[in-house]
């Protein structure tokens, strides 16, 4: 476990909806009482960027604001670029904690793999910084973040106090419900599920075809009550601990039985 | 396990270096004897795109070539976009197997998380298609792929015969050595490691600063012989089975001890 410094922690904040997103502003307000806040966020909305990094074009960072313990930079890249730039170029010392979000839209189940919000959090955990990705299951720009702020603050402060296991971050999702209906915070596993993609095929004014990605989430679980999808559908917030070792240990023996040989 | 159809299998091929990359052409030549080949590859090199998807701009696909059982499309997106477009719009039936690569450069250890080559393979496995990402530990465009072709073909045919566990794909990496020095194919776990990033800071002709991503891989292992990094350093090809459930099950109890409450 990494113990955080409780005397004026440095809090790194990022997201994938861009430095101007309402969810980011709510997150800054939530964590600001607990330390110095350094925001390094994409200059554009970059949803669905996963763990992408910018290799073939140069990055630029721009200081936008610095007052009352909050410093805001924008970077012309992905959430992972933002975290790398923060750690390697912008921050004067290693952050004590990283928060990413609050994402406009769910990142539960398999969405973790496509999520730029979670890309940023995972990059933090690779650097042994306790990291949390927060998402609200609503894509509305005027969504009500009050539930996330109230209970997200509890999750944040407990992680600030206790740290997290090395190379593990948290994928936190909140349902869109009232405080009265809210049932609590549940530690879960990632539900099995996939996106069933459909493309919306259109024809441009020049007669050429193009496609917009669309699709529906298909839950592959059979009523298990220990998944993030179950928690969210039953008025709980879900916390899934996410790790960065993708090895399928159970399959190693099966593959060894393939008897690869060079003779 | 998914059993593949052995009578004229449909083989989906993608990569992240673009439809024109030598590694892709080598891969097509390697798998062509085993079925009908459908190539759907990015129109540009898109290394480091991880599992990114294109949401905010439209996709286009262009048929480039169709002869001798090989059909080639380019798509203006990421490897994951290519796989989704192939499965949802281009392929007439579900492919029996997916191969991605041959990547120009290693995707071992933590590089799996940044890799577009592996993004394509993982997307295949999410659709229950036995999927393999192949990489050669050389960034040279004129690299010698003959070792990968000889032993990669063995890996390919064994997966074609036996299938893979659902939601698991293979991350296969080859060292840059001669056939004489090659020791064999080793099933491994993902080595613990991180990229230590440095940015190359420059000033453009207008006096503004910009940054190029650079960095070095730092191996976090202490001599364990069961990792992909060990295998590659000791003249083996490495196969790591990669899964799509990122839950850190070991941390669930630790997090439950945080005692989150709503009272």
Q: Within 10 Å of residue A204's Cβ, how many Cβ atoms? A: 10
Residue A21, classified by CB atoms within 10 Å of its CB into exposed (0-12), middle (13-18) or buried (19+), is buried
* B205 occurs within a structural domain: no
Task: Answer yes or no: is the ipTM higher than 0.85.
Answer: yes
For testing contact with chain A, the best of B4, B43, B45, B51 (most A CBs within 10 A): B51
Q: Are the C-beta atoms of residues B83 and B53 closer than 8 Å to each other?
A: no
Please check whether residue B36 lies inside any domain of the structure: yes
Q: How many domains does chain B have?
A: 1
Residue A206 lies in a domain: no
- Regarding beta strands B209-219 and B193-203, do their DSSP bridges make them parallel or antiparallel, or are they unpaired? antiparallel
Contact A262 B182 (CB under 8 A): yes
Task: Report pLDDT digits (tens) over A153-209.
Answer: 999 999 999 999 999 999 999 999 999 999 999 999 999 999 998 899 999 999 999
For residue A5, is pLDDT > 70? no
Work out the pLDDT band at A146, boundaries 50, 70, 90. very high
Verify whether the Cβ–Cβ distance B185 to A213 is below 8 Å.
Answer: no
Task: Tell me if A78 sits within 8 A of A116, measured CB to CB.
Answer: yes
Per-residue pLDDT of chain B (263 residues; tens, 9 = 90+): 334 444 689 999 999 999 999 999 999 999 999 999 999 999 999 999 999 999 999 999 999 999 999 999 999 999 999 999 999 999 999 999 999 999 999 999 999 999 999 999 999 999 999 999 999 999 988 999 999 999 999 999 999 999 999 999 999 999 999 999 999 999 999 999 999 988 999 999 999 999 999 989 999 998 899 999 999 999 999 999 999 999 999 999 999 999 999 87
Residue A122 reports pLDDT greater than 70:
yes
- Range of B235's domain? 10-191+224-256
Sheet holding B97-104, edge to edge: B61-67, B70-75, B36-42, B10-14, B97-104, B131-136, B168-174, B236-243, B184-187
Q: Are strands A131-136 and A70-75 parallel, antiparallel or unpaired?
A: unpaired
B48, B209, B258: residue with CB nearest A162: B258
Residue A166 lies in a domain: yes
> pTM of the prediction?
0.95
CATH of residue B38's domain is 3.40.1210.10
In a domain? residue B3? no
Note which residues in 42-101 of chain A have CB less than 8 A from chain B.
45, 47-56, 58-61, 78, 80-81, 84-85, 87-89
What value does the mean pLDDT of chain B take? 95
Chain B within 8 Å of A135 (Cβ-Cβ)? Answer: no
Residue A59 domain-assigned (yes or no): yes
**B114, B184, B248: residue with CB nearest A262:** B184
A-chain residues near B213 (CB < 8 A): 53-55, 59, 81, 84
Residue B246 in domain: yes
- Judge whether A202 lies within some domain: no
Map residue B3 onto helix, strand or coil: coil
Residue A114 makes CB contacts below 8 A (sequence gap 6+) with: A48, A50, A195, B51, B52, B53, B80
């Amino acid at each position: 476990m990494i113990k955080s410094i409780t005397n004026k922690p440095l809090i790194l904040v990022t997201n994938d909806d861009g430095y101007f997103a309402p969810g980011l502003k709510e997150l800054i307000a939530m964590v600001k009482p607990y330390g110095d806040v350094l925001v390094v966020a994409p200059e554009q909305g970059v949803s669905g960027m996963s763990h992408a990094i910018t290799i073939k074009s140069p990055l630029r960072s721009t200081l936008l604001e610095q007052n009352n313990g909050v410093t805001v930079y924008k970077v012309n890249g992905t959430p992972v670029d933002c975290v790398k730039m923060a750690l390697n170029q912008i921050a004067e010392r290693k952050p004590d904690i990283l928060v990413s979000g609050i994402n406009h839209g769910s990142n539960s189940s398999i969405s973790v793999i496509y999520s730029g919000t979670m890309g940023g959090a995972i990059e933090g955990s690779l650097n042994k910084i306790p990291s949390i990705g927060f998402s609200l299951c609503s894509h509305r720009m005027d969504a009500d973040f009050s539930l996330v702020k109230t209970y997200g603050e509890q999750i944040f402060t407990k992680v600030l106090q206790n740290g997290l296991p090395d190379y593990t971050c948290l994928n936190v999702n909140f349902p869109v419900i009232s405080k009265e209906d809210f049932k609590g915070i549940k530690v879960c596993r990632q539900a099995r599920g996939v996106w069933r993609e459909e493309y919306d095929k259109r024809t441009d004014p020049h007669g050429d075809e193009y496609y917009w990605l669309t699709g529906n989430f298909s839950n592959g679980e059979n009523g298990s009550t220990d998944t993030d999808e179950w928690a969210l559908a039953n008025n709980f917030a879900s916390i899934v601990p996410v790790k960065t070792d993708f090895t399928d240990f159970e399959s190693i023996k099966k593959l060894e039985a393939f008897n690869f040989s060079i003779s």
